[in-house]
Structure 1
């Protein structure tokens, strides 16, 4: 199955997509073969129907034989019911198998999107949703149905051609003569089909992005009085997509019209020639009816086979877009972080996109450090290097002597926690948000971290651990969101805690209580604070590292008075 799936993926979508798509297709192949068997059975019944119609007309009606008429009509009715039954069974099998493949494909892409390498260019949320939804459906539909359509079409084509030859081999040549011209036309039309498909896909992604951004920022837009402006922009984007869809549909109808015109011409020739054969007495009327039916049956499969050529162009556009998501995934590979306490060593280090002078510093396990500097200089980017969420532009960063860039990301994230200023809060309950960090945590443990984050009183005043949280925490203040994030982080046994403006929206009194609880509970952990104001900047620090556009400044305050010159430079920064 794996080898067959790899060949099919390479043939249909190209070698670039085969690597990530072949496993999905391999898992779908067994159920796909069952659907194919049911489809061929239904097709076989369909091929028998024109012959039965011929017998009803020629052996029954034209021969004025009531017994033959009843027999052939009854058999035709029975096979018709069988075809209906096979169609229902086939439809249900197809639905279940294709839905499972779509779920598998989306799961694969969703995992890749979650593991997206931070070094890759940002993918807007709306664009990601468009790829996970529309592009996945396009790939699944084509990948699953291609084999069914191709094998079924070949089966009906071969069966119909054989029965047409049995009726009159000379007339059976006519449908084959039209195929080369139709193939030539479709090959010429294919590049435009691909270009229009790419245009519509990009427009759909841009529209989804604008929708997601506008809805998430509706409060800000309302305050700015910009709702009408965004609504107008959204309307313009919709009109652009409608125009693109119109061009795509018009082109599709044009391509289809050429095929239908060829079929109409072929049908007219068969009617004329076949009718002449009936007039001459060489054919019976039932033979003409059966021949016309088989000609129609042949044109359908032939059009399906040729149409797959155009559908492949659209599917490859979707495969390229999904392939970009797959390629951006960062595998959870690398060495395990060293055991024991984690010391941090920065040597001429500067994160990519940061504006500060390269910094050299050593932070020992358990130290309390303030990382300072003007906004936008790259403090957060430098700390993100320690969790591999930002790459280094120059220098090196080591944890307990091991190069951070070589460590396994998920293992690293379990030992180094970087709390951002704007935490991710999900829709659900308070307990569900807290258990993101510790799925097996009991209620008692949750209440302990709520106490540490000065949230227990607020939770008791609400619904306790069942307090509902809106999407992105929209029903909470910024300070509550930050305190929930702090409570969540304190459940993890991390050795390095980075508080990156994580107290910026918490009032001073609550901030002091939380800091005191952190010092009491996590005195052995390395605590690194980034804060422009408030209690998070106060107290004793083992080191104060100030990032500047020139050489960095280090101040050691463990019972020592820094030089006046250093204090003046710090204030200047």
Structure 2
């Protein structure tokens, strides 16, 4: 399987896709083999049926032999039941194995989407969902069914042709004469099939993106009285997608109609020539019926084989889209961060997108630091560079003398907790959200961090650790969301904690209590604060660092921002 899967993946999807699709196909091949055995067994019984029908007609009915009629009819009935049984088994096996392959493929793509390199532009949520849903299903269906369809079609073609030759080799040439023309037509039609598939999938992604954005921003849109406007935009996007689907379906039906016309012509030719043979007495009626059945049976497999050529065009569009997700994943490679207490060092550092002057800075373990500067200068981006969530435009960042660029990102995140201003809160319970940081934390540990985040009274007044939380924390205030995020971060054994406007929506009294608890219970941790106002700027700091810029920054505060009032003459350390 390990050798066969890469070859099949390269043959079907190309070398670029084979590197990530081959492992998924290798895991699905054993199950696909069972499906193939059941499918070929059903096909073999199906191939025998026209011959049995011939015997019923010629040896039984036309020969007026009741014994032969009963025998061949009973055998035909028994084989028909066998075909039904194999068909049911094949259907159930197909569902089980193909669903497992789809889950495997989606899991692979979901992991890649979660590991997306922060340095790359974000993939819109709706577009990501469209790729993980529609494109994965397209790839799985084609990858799983291609081998089965191809082998099954070849088996039916070879078996049907052999039986047709046994009946009359001259008439067996008729179906073969139609194949070259159908293949020529499909090859000419394939580029349009691919273009229509690309357009349809792009419009599906745009529609999903608009839907996700609108639903997530419904409160803001309601406040702006812009729901009707977004609804009209959604209707236009739906209209564009439906129109694209109709164009794709019309083209698909046109391509299919050509194949059906060829089949009808072939069937008519067999009826005329075969009927003439019956009139001349060279054929019996049963032979003509069997020949017509085999001609019909061969047209399906032949159409399947030629149709795979067009289906591959659509599948490759989906493969290219999924390949973009796979390629965007950041490999979790590099060395682990050095053990022991962490010293952070920046040497002429500036993150991509930052407009501050390059910064030289050293933060020994356990220091309490304020990082200051106007909005938009690049404070958050600079701190994100410490966890490799933002690339440096220049300079270097060191973790205990080790260049952060060469360290494993996940290992860095375990040592450095970066709390954003707008934390992610998931639907579930309060305990479930807290345990995202420490799955094995017991209830006592959860209550301890809730106390540090000044949340005990609120939690006890609700349902305790089982307090339900709505999607994105929509049923919570901004301050509660921030406090839950702070409690969650305190569960982690991080050496460095970066509070990036993490107190901006918490009232001053609660903020002071939380800060006092953090300082009391985390004295050995490095604490870096980014705050434009409020108690997070108060107290003793080991260092106060102000980012400055030679680039003009336009502010609306008319010189009243706290960083200007308190730190106008401070320089970067």
The TM-score range, normalised by the shorter chain, is over 0.9
Distance 1:551 1:57 in 2: 94
Q: 2:93 aligns to what?
A: 93
* Deviation digits for residues 388-440 of structure 1 (CA, Å, limit 9, x no counterpart): 10000111110110001111111111110000001011111100111111111
Q: 1:568, CA displacement in angstroms? A: 4.2
Q: 1:42 aligns to what?
A: 42
* Deviation digits for residues 182-234 of structure 1 (CA, Å, limit 9, x no counterpart): 00110111111111101111111110010000000000000000000000000
Q: 1:479 aligns to what?
A: 479
Q: 1:284 aligns to what?
A: 284
Q: 2:516 aligns to what?
A: 516
Check whether the contact 1:358–1:551 (CA below 8 A) recurs between aligned residues: no
1:121-520 matches, within 5 Å, as: 121-520=121-520
Q: In 2 relative to 1, CA 302–408 (structure 1 residues): closer, same or farther, beyond 3 Å? A: same
Distance 2:476 2:57 in 1: 77
Distance 1:565 1:532 in 2: 11
Q: 1:82, CA displacement in angstroms? A: 0.6
Is 1:535 the equivalent of 2:535? yes
Q: 1:18 aligns to what?
A: 18
Q: 2:561 aligns to what?
A: none
Check whether the contact 2:430–2:466 (CA below 8 A) recurs between aligned residues: yes
Distance 2:356 2:259 in 1: 64
* Deviation digits for residues 14-68 of structure 1 (CA, Å, limit 9, x no counterpart): 0000000000000000000000000000000000000011111111111111111
Check whether the contact 1:417–1:497 (CA below 8 A) recurs between aligned residues: yes
Check whether the contact 2:355–2:551 (CA below 8 A) recurs between aligned residues: no
Q: 1:281, CA displacement in angstroms? A: 0.4
Check whether the contact 1:359–1:551 (CA below 8 A) recurs between aligned residues: no
Check whether the contact 1:9–1:22 (CA below 8 A) recurs between aligned residues: yes
Distance 2:316 2:342 in 1: 47
Q: 1:551, CA displacement in angstroms? A: 9.6
Distance 1:32 1:528 in 2: 55
Q: In 2 relative to 1, CA 359–93 (structure 1 residues): closer, same or farther, beyond 3 Å? A: same
Q: Which blocks of at least 5 consecutive residues in structure 2 are unaligned?
A: 553-563
SS of the counterpart of 1:454?
A: coil
Distance 2:183 2:496 in 1: 65
Distance 1:284 1:75 in 2: 21
Check whether the contact 1:190–1:313 (CA below 8 A) recurs between aligned residues: yes
Distance 1:63 1:551 in 2: 102
**Alignment length (residue pairs):** 560
SS of the counterpart of 1:426?
A: coil
* Greater mean deviation of Cα atoms: 218-227 or 64-73: 64-73
Check whether the contact 1:334–1:408 (CA below 8 A) recurs between aligned residues: yes
Distance 1:188 1:551 in 2: 57
Is 1:77 the equivalent of 2:71? no
Q: 1:569, CA displacement in angstroms? A: 3.3
Normalised by the length of structure 2, the TM-score is 0.96
Q: 1:8, CA displacement in angstroms? A: 0.1
Q: In 2 relative to 1, CA 104–288 (structure 1 residues): closer, same or farther, beyond 3 Å? A: same
Normalised by the length of structure 1, the TM-score is 0.96
Q: 1:338, CA displacement in angstroms? A: 0.8
